[in-house]
Amino acid sequence: MSWERSEKPEPVGRDPPELAPTTSNAEKNVGILPAVDDANLSREDTEAIYDRFAPGRKRLVTAVVACGGVASTVSSLLLLAAIPEIAADLNSTGSIVNVSNAIYILFMGISTLFWGPISQVYGRKWPCIISAATFFAFCVGTALSPNLAAFFVFRILSAFAGTAYLVLGSSCISDIYKPTERGTALAWFLNGTLIGQAFGPFIGGVIVTFHSWRVLFWFQSALGGLTTVLAVFFLPETSYRRKADELEGLSTKAKIAQVWDWVNPFRVLALFRIPKLLVVGIATASLVWNMQALLTPIRYVINPRFQLTSPLQSGLFFLAPGCGFFFGTYMGGRWADRTVKLWIKRRGRRIPEDRLRSTFVAMGGVIPCCIIIYGWAIEKEKGGIPLPVICMFVQGFAQVIAFPSLNTYCLDVFKGKSAEVIAGNYFFRYALAAVGTAVCLPAIQSIGVGWFSTITALFVFFSSVGVYFVVIMAGKEDAKGESEQV
């Protein structure tokens, strides 16, 4: 497979065309071919694309899609503080209820394979509205579930419905922000999704301490309803070109065949035959694996270690990574954009892989060290409460340093297929997160939290090494291209 660049490096002061006219053999094999019309866009045309919305409207779009991201991701971890109560009410066990959460996360990943291509065909707005409305309905069904089977079914359906914002939120930001600006905007969007995951268990702990676990899902229903209203009234159509416009004049049969070709989820997976996308997908998945492995077992690991007795007490521990996510937002996106601008000055042009340089310290050093210290501090009962809390905070902070760069790279590298690339990336991360959710408790019970944390730390570290090689290979290809031009 080739490591060739997917787009030409940009000269300073010029935004890139949608897709460059040069592609590697690997890219041709998965249908990444030059978009002739977009490739001929002038600088004025590309400026006009990004200037369609005023800065205030752009911030509103970011806020709306971030709200949708919160609604979806908070559901994946909201019930962690309530697993024993749900198991008792539905005549099941904590392990079985935890499997439902793993299945929920898995279907979050599967659904991205559909939402991404659909948005390329029909635009962003209507898929967002449909996603939020159906998520609302299925959360109501979960709250009313009379037995475990119904609980599983409605959880799966709500996972499939609610994940659109994770893909389409990133795509909306890519539609309206320039490459040198979108890292900051994407950091705020990701802050919403990450805070939803971190604060969800705390909110769940508060609710379950004073009310039935079913109130958790009425709370989710309210979030889904709010997101629906925001999408209807405040979310504009951000996509400037929809494939559906190309269907005019075709017969019904031809339209169906063409739409299926466009939304076929296997086209999304085929993109990851390209090595650099696969490596970045695994790197992103390693961070989500770490997050799930950190947050899922807290009530089963922290409560016995510190003799905690209520869901509210253990829920307080989720605030540490949540605060890390929040404060990291102020630095993560800006650090990514600053790194891009620095390398533009050094090289005189931009290549997408330069953005990945901003992940090296966080993924290669800070996160693995914090994981190991956290795990062995719990295992050996050292450091009291402050040490694991500090490690959880720093991990959360470092994750938000790395996430915007990895996500924005997916938007930059093949912009004509940005929604499909980000959809495939989300599939990778949530598929692995589902595995992490399912195996973390049995693994910790088998080998201990110390060794499990060590394995997780090594996974994140070697994923960072893979990202490093993606950057190095891209730099060599860029230098080779320049020498050939000379």
**Cα separation of 451 and 442, whole Å?**
13
Query: Residue 39 has what pLDDT?
Result: 42
- Cα–Cα distance measured from residue 214 to residue 486, given in angstroms and rounded to the nearest whole number: 67
In this structure, the strands spanning 10-11 and 349-350 are antiparallel
Are the C-beta atoms of residues 80 and 295 closer than 8 Å to each other? yes
Distance CA 441, CA 420 (A): 33
Q: Which of 108, 120, 103 is nearest to 73 (CA)?
A: 108
Residue 32 dihedral angles phi and psi, to the nearest 5° = -90, 95
So what's the pLDDT on residue 17?
Answer: 39
Residue owning tokens 């939290």: 449
The pLDDT value recorded for residue 46 is 65
Contact 276, 351 (CB under 8 A): no
State the pLDDT at residue 47. Answer: 67
pLDDT of residue 226: 93
Sequence spans of domains, the chain = 50-485
In this prediction, residue 289 carries a pLDDT of 85
What is the spatial distance between Cα 304 and Cα 306, in angstroms, rounded to a whole number? Answer: 6
Per-residue H/E/C for 62-100: HHHHHHHHHHHHHHHHHHHHHHHHHHHHCCCCHHHHHHH
Looking at residue 45, its pLDDT comes to: 59
| 206 vs 361: CA distance, rounded Å | 36
For residue 42, give the DSSP letter. Answer: -
Q: What is the pLDDT of residue 110?
A: 86
Look at residue 350 and give its three-state secondary structure. strand
Determine the Cα–Cα distance for residues 349 and 334; give it in Å rounded to an integer: 19
**pLDDT attached to residue 42:** 54
Q: What local confidence, expressed as pLDDT, does residue 416 receive?
A: 64
Interatomic CA distance for residues 212 and 142, integer angstroms: 13
Mean pLDDT, consecutive 10-residue stretches, the chain (486 aa), reads 44 40 38 37 64 88 88 76 82 79 84 83 89 94 91 90 83 83 77 71 81 89 93 89 77 82 79 85 88 72 74 74 78 77 79 85 91 89 86 88 82 70 81 79 84 92 92 75 45
> Could you give phi then psi for residue 11, rounded to 5 degrees?
-70, 155
Count, residues in the chain: 486
Determine the topology of domain 50-485 in CATH.
Growth Hormone; Chain: A; (1.20.1250)
